[in-house]
């Protein structure tokens, strides 16, 4: 990890048994992320944060979910969470290097996206910039995604905006093995 310190100190090991068990379930044997360690110092915040998690199997494919999360984090300038997700999920989600780059430097018209993914990116962008979808954006999204998927997209955008607020506002140092934002060409 970098030498930078977050604005709120993280929980230090050894962790209370209940917290250790939660970290083990979430991290599957990997060391807990700095974000989790900071949140876990404050029971109510940690419980609410964990309750909002959307990484379980849901109505979106892993690829769709990760496009939403990566784009949301990129729009919020949250290299911390974007990097964690790209490192862990880009491969399993079958996101190419060009697609990962486009989550930061591209837009809905980037050639790497399918028509359904273009509608997804456009929706994420609209929700980020205006906190709503115009009728055309909703129609484009509805042409490719059902109601449960559209609700999941909106929930993911909101949750990862909150995660971005936390990581950015706390000045969390980037995780050592996480990806970094790509440089502009």
Give per-residue pLDDT as tens, 104-131. Answer: 999 999 999 999 999 999 999 999 999 9
Length of the chain: 185
Q: Are residues 149 and 68 in the same domain?
A: yes
Over residues 58-85, mean pLDDT: 97
Give the CA angle between residues 10, 11, 12 to the nearest 5°.
110
Residue 99 lies in a domain: yes
Which of these, 166, 165, 173, lies nearest to 128 by C-alpha position? 165
| pLDDT recorded at residue 185 | 67
3-class DSSP state of 178? coil
Q: Confirm whether 116 is domain-assigned.
A: yes
Distance between CA atoms of residues 61 and 67, nearest Å: 10
On whether residue 70 sits in a domain, the answer given is yes
Count: domains in the chain: 2
pTM over 0.75: yes
- Asked if residue 70 lies in contact with residue 85, where contact means CB atoms within 8 angstroms, the answer is yes
Within this chain, do residues 118 and 29 fall inside the same structural domain, yes or no?
A: no
Structural domain range at position 47: 17-51
User: For the chain, how big is the Rg over CA atoms in Å?
Assistant: 17
């Amino acid at each position: 990890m970098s030498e930078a310190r977050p604005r709120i100190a993280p929980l230090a090991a050894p962790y209370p048994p209940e917290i250790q068990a939660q970290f083990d379930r979430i991290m599957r044997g990997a060391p807990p992320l700095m974000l989790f360690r900071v949140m876990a110092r404050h029971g109510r915040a940690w419980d609410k944060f964990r309750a909002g998690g959307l990484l379980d199997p849901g109505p979106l494919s892993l690829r769709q979910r990760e496009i939403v999360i990566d784009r949301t984090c990129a729009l919020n300038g949250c290299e911390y969470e974007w990097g964690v997700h790209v490192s862990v999920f880009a491969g399993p989600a079958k996101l190419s290097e060009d697609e990962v780059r486009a989550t930061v430097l591209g837009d809905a018209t980037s050639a790497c996206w399918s028509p359904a993914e273009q509608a997804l990116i456009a929706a994420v962008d609209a929700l980020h910039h205006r906190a709503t979808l115009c009728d055309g954006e909703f129609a484009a999204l509805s042409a490719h995604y059902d109601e449960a998927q559209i609700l999941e997209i909106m929930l993911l955008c909101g949750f990862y905006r909150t995660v971005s607020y936390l990581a950015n506002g706390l000045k969390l140092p980037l995780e050592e093995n996480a990806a970094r934002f790509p440089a502009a060409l």
